[in-house]
């Protein structure tokens, strides 16, 4: 009988049957084999007992002993769990260990109870008990059955604990103790009621984890992650905050309306922004959050993707703040993906090349330099300006490849012009915020032009003021300082359209100021733009900063700029951006030449260029 019992229960354990089902089957088989008994299995959490199985005992009795605290006078099971030893109570009516509980047992006819502890190693994890309706002690056969049952219970409970621990590790982030990405996916796809509209998803990214890791070490970075986890748990509860990995967190919140989701995100940002001690360093956590609410016809996973889109756009345009998803964001992201795909293909096929727009002396129309502009040629031969695929440049990988392609091509073209004895002075190359964030910019630029043997004093880096002055961590300013130390000149492009003010000219290291076309378009008598341009030219001149007027399209604009003292300009009046072959012709025919020298008798070398006068 015992062998049959063991085989049946071990098979259930091996198949992974639920613990409660397996214990109930054990009790029923024992009760059918040993007449006159009722069996029970209780789980023990180290303090209290909880019913796992008691199929033949009244439900009211099991409910009454639920959460029974173990102790020296806690009935048979409570005492067995407390001491870790078997307890045989032959007569409940007279045994002091049942004094507080006999009123539960005797009215339902229970007169004796034998209980044995179930152990996992030295730890008590439960109890197995026989209840009798007469006063008596166990027989030798019954004791053997009890021993076999206790062993089977131990195996079943051990397996259940291992399964639960595996599940805990599977669904728990090891560093923070928060539920992890797998747990988030499970809740999102299995446990959320998609018909309930009063919930939303927030996705948060830490903005300064890499900076903390690089500056203070990974121990400080881990401490920062833990600090954020604690604050998120406090904000929304332990079961609603998830660490997805790295610096990514997710929250499932239950606002009653759209404003509630925004309010929750704002409160979380405020809580995160409090200073924290991280491995002995004071750090102010910074995060960006994107959020989304349910919409008709959308699955929870689609809502999560909407929150991801919002986070993506927030990191691009509202870093450190909250952005909630709306339909337009999805359209913009689709455009971004298409642009990235098209530009990546064009790069791989060599269809991305520089075109050159001349910068000229307004008085003589001689070319003193070029601005290199990125152009993509379609498979059909159409040349597309960078403005039509600028979304792709917001992708860090694509931006890096575009810049590398432009630098390599420009350096090659400049070397060919120098080899041809053409009076090349400068070529300007545009840089984006992504170029600075990628790091090692100075090394990349120096390498590209060194390999082409082009001196760096022929290079101008053009940086828009939104890039130059919009960085909170001063990375751009520091990088530009290092580049200028190499002899490279810096132009502040599109001046007047972003963050810049005249006071910045006193502190930022620039060599050239490029006045935006929007000011040039307003060069008419009485227009405020005329006075602004005149003031800029005068101030820049006094500071030793050269000025280039962009977007000149008419002779009237050129004449007005010349009267105001602006010596240099670029625009369609002089030339559109042209390819390398046409740029070569322009240099040969219209380039400003050094005094007393012509291209025919110029002297050049691989180490430099034609002797030349200053860029003006």
Q: Is the pLDDT of residue 616 over 50?
A: no
Does residue 610 lie in a domain region?
no
User: What is the percentage of the chain residues whose pLDDT exceeds 90?
Assistant: 54
- Position 469 scores a pLDDT of 60
Query: Are 344 and 406 part of one and the same domain?
Result: yes
Q: Which residue has the higher pLDDT, 584 or 494?
A: 584
- Position 12 scores a pLDDT of 93
- Position 215 scores a pLDDT of 86
Query: Are 427 and 477 part of one and the same domain?
Result: yes
User: pLDDT class for 258, splitting at 50, 70, 90?
Assistant: low
Does residue 364 lie in a domain region?
yes
Instruction: Average the pLDDT over 523-538 and give the result.
Output: 83
Q: In this structure, what token pair is assigned to residue 258? A: 């759209």
Q: How many domains does the chain have?
A: 3
- Position 495 scores a pLDDT of 74
The conformation of residue 134, written as its DSSP 8-state character, comes to S
Does residue 598 lie in a domain region?
no
Q: In this structure, what token pair is assigned to residue 226? A: 């833990």
DSSP codes, 258-317: HHHHHHHHHHHHHHHTS-EEETTEEE---EEEEEE---TT--HHHHHHHHHHHHHHHHHH
Query: Are 361 and 499 part of one and the same domain?
Result: yes
Give the DSSP H or E segment for 39.
strand 37-44
Q: What is the CATH number of the domain that holds 517?
A: 3.20.20.450
Reported as a single tens digit per residue, the pLDDT across 401-458 is 899 999 999 999 999 999 999 998 999 999 887 788 777 888 899 999 999 999 999 9
User: pLDDT class for 557, splitting at 50, 70, 90?
Assistant: very high
- Position 607 scores a pLDDT of 42
Q: Is the pLDDT of residue 467 over 80?
A: no
- Position 421 scores a pLDDT of 92
Query: Are 404 and 519 part of one and the same domain?
Result: yes
Q: Between the CA atoms of 275, 278, 282 and 286, what dihedral angle is there, to the nearest 10 degrees? A: -50
User: What is the percentage of the chain residues whose pLDDT exceeds 70?
Assistant: 90
User: pLDDT class for 599, splitting at 50, 70, 90?
Assistant: very low
- Position 27 scores a pLDDT of 95
CB-hemisphere CA count at 13 Å for 41? 27
Q: Cβ–Cβ contacts within 10 Å for residue 332, how many?
A: 14
Q: Is the pLDDT of residue 546 over 60?
A: yes
Does residue 616 lie in a domain region?
no
Reported as a single tens digit per residue, the pLDDT across 262-300 is 888 999 999 999 999 999 999 999 999 999 988 877 888
Domain span holding position 439 = 337-590
Query: Are 361 and 299 part of one and the same domain?
Result: no
Instruction: Average the pLDDT over 544-552 and give the result.
Output: 92
Chain centroid to Cα 225, Å, comes to: 13
Q: Between the CA atoms of 54, 59, 62 and 66, what dihedral angle is there, to the nearest 10 degrees? A: 130
Give the DSSP H or E segment for 30.
helix 19-33
d(CA 370, CA 574): 12
Q: With b meaning 16 or more CB within 10 Å and e meaning fewer, what string describes 88-106?
A: bbbebeebebbeebbebbe
- Position 133 scores a pLDDT of 93
- Position 178 scores a pLDDT of 92
Query: Are 11 and 117 part of one and the same domain?
Result: yes
Q: Is residue 54 helix, strand or coil?
A: coil
- Position 509 scores a pLDDT of 73
Out of 43-52, 116-125, 390-399, 605-614, least confident range = 605-614
Query: Are 382 and 526 part of one and the same domain?
Result: yes
Global pTM value? 0.54
Which residue, of 170, 190, 218, is where some domain finishes?
170
- Position 420 scores a pLDDT of 93
Out of 183-197, 500-514, 560-574, least confident range = 500-514
Query: Are 353 and 276 part of one and the same domain?
Result: no
Q: What is the CATH number of the domain that holds 60?
A: 3.30.450.40
Reported as a single tens digit per residue, the pLDDT across 445-454 is 999 999 999 9
At CB < 8 A and 24+ separation, what contacts does 55-58 make? 55/24, 55/27, 55/28, 55/31, 56/27, 56/28, 56/31, 57/108, 57/131, 58/108
Reported as a single tens digit per residue, the pLDDT across 479-497 is 888 888 888 999 988 776 5
d(CA 248, CA 287): 10
Does residue 259 lie in a domain region?
yes
- Position 257 scores a pLDDT of 56
Reported as a single tens digit per residue, the pLDDT across 146-186 is 999 999 999 999 999 998 888 888 888 989 989 999 899 88
d(CA 591, CA 116): 102
Contacts of 518 (CB under 8 A, 6+ apart): 496, 497, 529, 551
Q: In this structure, what token pair is assigned to residue 259? A: 């404003």
d(CA 421, CA 70): 97
């Amino acid at each position: 009988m015992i062998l049959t019992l063991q085989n049946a229960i071990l098979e259930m354990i091996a198949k992974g049957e639920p613990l409660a089902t397996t214990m109930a089957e054990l009790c029923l088989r024992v009760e059918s084999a040993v007449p006159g008994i009722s069996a029970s299995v209780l789980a023990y959490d180290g303090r209290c007992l909880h019913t796992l199985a008691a199929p033949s005992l009244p439900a009211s009795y099991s409910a009454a002993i639920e959460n029974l605290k173990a102790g020296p006078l806690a009935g048979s099971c409570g005492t067995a769990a407390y001491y870790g030893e078997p307890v045989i109570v032959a007569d409940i009516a007279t045994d002091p260990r049942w004094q507080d509980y006999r009123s539960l047992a005797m009215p339902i006819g229970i007169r004796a109870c034998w209980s044995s502890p179930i152990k996992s190693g030295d730890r008590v994890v439960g109890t197995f008990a026989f209840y009798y309706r007469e006063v008596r002690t166990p027989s030798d056969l019954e004791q053997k059955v009890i021993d076999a049952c206790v062993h089977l219970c131990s195996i079943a409970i051990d397996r259940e604990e291992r399964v639960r621990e595996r599940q805990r590790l599977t669904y728990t982030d090891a560093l923070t103790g928060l539920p992890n990405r797998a747990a988030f996916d499970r809740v999102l796809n299995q446990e959320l009621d998609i018909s309930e509209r009063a919930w939303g998803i927030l996705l948060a990214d830490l903005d300064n984890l890499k900076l903390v890791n690089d500056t203070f070490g990974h121990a400080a970075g881990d401490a920062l992650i833990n600090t954020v986890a604690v604050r998120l748990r406090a904000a929304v509860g332990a079961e609603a905050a998830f660490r997805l990995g790295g610096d990514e967190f997710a929250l499932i919140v239950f606002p009653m309306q759209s404003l509630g989701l925004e309010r929750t995100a704002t409160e979380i940002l405020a809580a995160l922004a409090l200073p924290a001690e991280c491995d002995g360093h004071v750090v102010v956590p910074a995060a960006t959050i994107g959020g989304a609410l349910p919409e008709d016809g959308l699955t929870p996973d689609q809502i999560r993707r909407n929150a991801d889109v919002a986070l993506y756009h927030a990191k691009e345009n509202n870093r450190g703040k909250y952005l909630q998803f709306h339909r337009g964001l999805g359209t913009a992201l689709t455009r971004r993906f298409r642009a990235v795909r098209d530009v990546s293909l064009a790069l791989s096929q060599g269809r991305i090349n520089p075109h050159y727009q001349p910068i000229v002396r307004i008085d003589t129309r001689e070319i003193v330099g070029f601005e290199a502009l990125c152009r993509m040629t379609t498979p059909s031969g159409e040349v597309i300006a960078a403005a039509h695929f600028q979304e792709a440049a917001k992708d860090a990988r694509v931006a890096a490849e575009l810049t590398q392609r432009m630098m390599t091509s420009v350096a090659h073209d400049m070397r060919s012009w120098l080899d041809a004895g053409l009076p090349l002075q400068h070529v300007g190359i545009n840089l984006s915020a992504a170029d600075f964030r990628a790091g090692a910019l100075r090394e990349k630029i120096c390498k590209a032009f060194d390999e082409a043997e082009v001196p760096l004093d022929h290079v101008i880096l053009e940086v828009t003021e939104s890039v130059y002055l919009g960085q909170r961590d001063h990375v751009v300013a520091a990088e530009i300082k290092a580049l200028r130390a190499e002899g490279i000149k810096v132009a502040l492009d599109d001046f007047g359209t972003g963050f810049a003010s005249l006071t910045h000219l006193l502190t930022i290291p620039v060599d050239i100021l490029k006045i935006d076309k929007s000011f040039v378009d307003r060069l008419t008598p009485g227009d405020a733009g005329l006075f602004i341009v005149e003031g800029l030219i005068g101030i820049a001149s006094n500071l030793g900063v050269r000025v280039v007027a962009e977007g000149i399209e008419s002779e009237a604009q050129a004449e007005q700029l010349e009267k105001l003292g602006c010596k240099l300009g670029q625009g369609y009046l002089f030339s559109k951006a042209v390819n390398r072959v046409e740029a070569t012709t322009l240099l040969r025919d219209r380039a400003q030449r050094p005094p007393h020298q012509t291209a025919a008798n110029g002297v050049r070398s691989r180490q430099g260029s034609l002797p030349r006068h200053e860029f003006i």
